Structure 1
Amino acid sequence: MLLSPYGYDVVLPKDLGISFSPEETEVSFTGNSFIKSKELYRLTGLPSFADDSGISVPALGGEPGVYSARYGGPGLTDKERALFLLQKLGASVDRNAYYSCVVSFVDAKDAVSFEGRVDGSIAEDYDEEGKFGFGYDPIFIYPPLGKRFSQIPESEKNKVSHRKKAMELFLNWLQNKK
């Protein structure tokens, strides 16, 4: 497992018989990540980590940001949320966007967070043919590969993703903590 070399075994809340779905009430990825990791630590007394992530579009004032999973209102599918974002962005020439992921870690001594970010842009249409990814991947263009995330196999995307970058920072910190 990912954390075994650092002396940690990863267990999920369900492995411990814990029902876990804290309300994400913060206005930042860091805040929401800490809501989860702090609550896990409070419930278990075990070192705990959690993440929060989403996509932000500066031309939309940072939307959808922390509301990425519920953008456009309740009950929308991933595709409907992506289409809603395209509609809101309209014909804007500023199509810059970025994915962010914040991993937070809490134990008796530490409460730290690590952010990974991937910059790109929003396409003008929805990719109906790409078979990879989820969420906003069909409209997110990743310039270094010249493709949308929905066109990049998971194994390749995982080498450059915002989650990978955040986890690398976390694991580097964890390795140096010992």
Structure 2
Amino acid sequence: MLTLCFATNNRHKLEEVQQALGAGVKLVTLEDIGCYDEIEEPFDTIQKNSEAKARFVWDRYGIDTFADDSGLVIPALNGEPGVYSARYAGPQRDDKDNIRLVWEKLADKSDRSAYFITVITLMLNGRLYAFEGIVNGTILPEERGNNGFGYDPVFLPEGSEQTFAEMSLQEKSELSHRARAVRKLNEFLTRNFQ
């Protein structure tokens, strides 16, 4: 069995990823490996921040690891909030504040299209691999649902009648940007290591 560190302590992410990964992979968290550092995300792209987190764990702990970075991209807002999605309305990282700011900025816009993107960077035996997942959708003018986190209550995926926050974990795991990137990661691991 392959053991990988998932460079997060976010339980929501961990549940989603465990749901999507095969039984042949054992996940450990940053806490499990004794990493209590706040890992910097200094870059202005999702790809670079994902890579920075994976490299940090590999360089410090020498453990095969993967990290993800995700963002909500709204073309009508010139790609905002993008890499700043979690702290869009400020360093307090409050989901409700972030949603309110998106609504404010979209108030005079007719185009409410958006997409979520996740980039997963895997550091395995010192080599770097990247996997991307994207899901297109629309920003709703009201919140719907109580599941999920972040922008899930206002994001309606293309072809769905439910927001991410209205879906069960299983339903979201079949559709989400993170799940799509994790599937690519899983296919790579299955092909090469199982």
Structure 2 CA distance for aligned equivalents of residues 27 and 177 of structure 1: 32
Kept in 2: contact 1:100–1:118 (CA 8 A): yes
Structure 1 CA distance for aligned equivalents of residues 157 and 36 of structure 2: 36
Partner residue in 2 for 1:171: 186
Q: Deviations for 1:30-55, whole angstroms, at most 9, x for unmatched residues?
A: 11111111111011112111111121
Partner residue in 1 for 2:158: 143
Kindly state the Cα deviation for residue 76 of structure 1 after the two structures are TM-superposed: 5.2
Structure 2 CA distance for aligned equivalents of residues 22 and 76 of structure 1: 16
Structure 2 CA distance for aligned equivalents of residues 10 and 132 of structure 1: 23
RMSD, aligned CA: 1.7
Aligned letter for 1:152?
A: M
Structure 1 unmatched runs, 5+: none
Q: Deviations for 1:121-175, whole angstroms, at most 9, x for unmatched residues?
A: 111x221x52222211121112311222222222211110111100000111122
Partner residue in 1 for 2:112: 95
Matches within 5 A, 1:1-178: 2=21, 4-5=23-24, 8-75=25-92, 77-123=94-140, 125-127=141-143, 129-178=144-193
Kept in 2: contact 1:133–1:150 (CA 8 A): yes
Question: TM-score, structure 2 length as denominator?
Answer: 0.83
Query: Runs in 1 of length 4+ with deviation above 6 angstroms?
Result: none
Structure 1 CA distance for aligned equivalents of residues 106 and 87 of structure 2: 17
Structure 2 CA distance for aligned equivalents of residues 110 and 65 of structure 1: 27
Kindly state the Cα deviation for residue 21 of structure 1 after the two structures are TM-superposed: 1.9
Secondary structure of the residue aligned to 1:97 is strand
Structure 2 unmatched runs, 5+: 1-17
Kept in 2: contact 1:3–1:10 (CA 8 A): no
Kept in 2: contact 1:117–1:162 (CA 8 A): yes
Kindly state the Cα deviation for residue 116 of structure 1 after the two structures are TM-superposed: 0.4
Kept in 1: contact 2:115–2:136 (CA 8 A): yes
Q: Paired residues, what number?
A: 174
Larger strand percent: 2
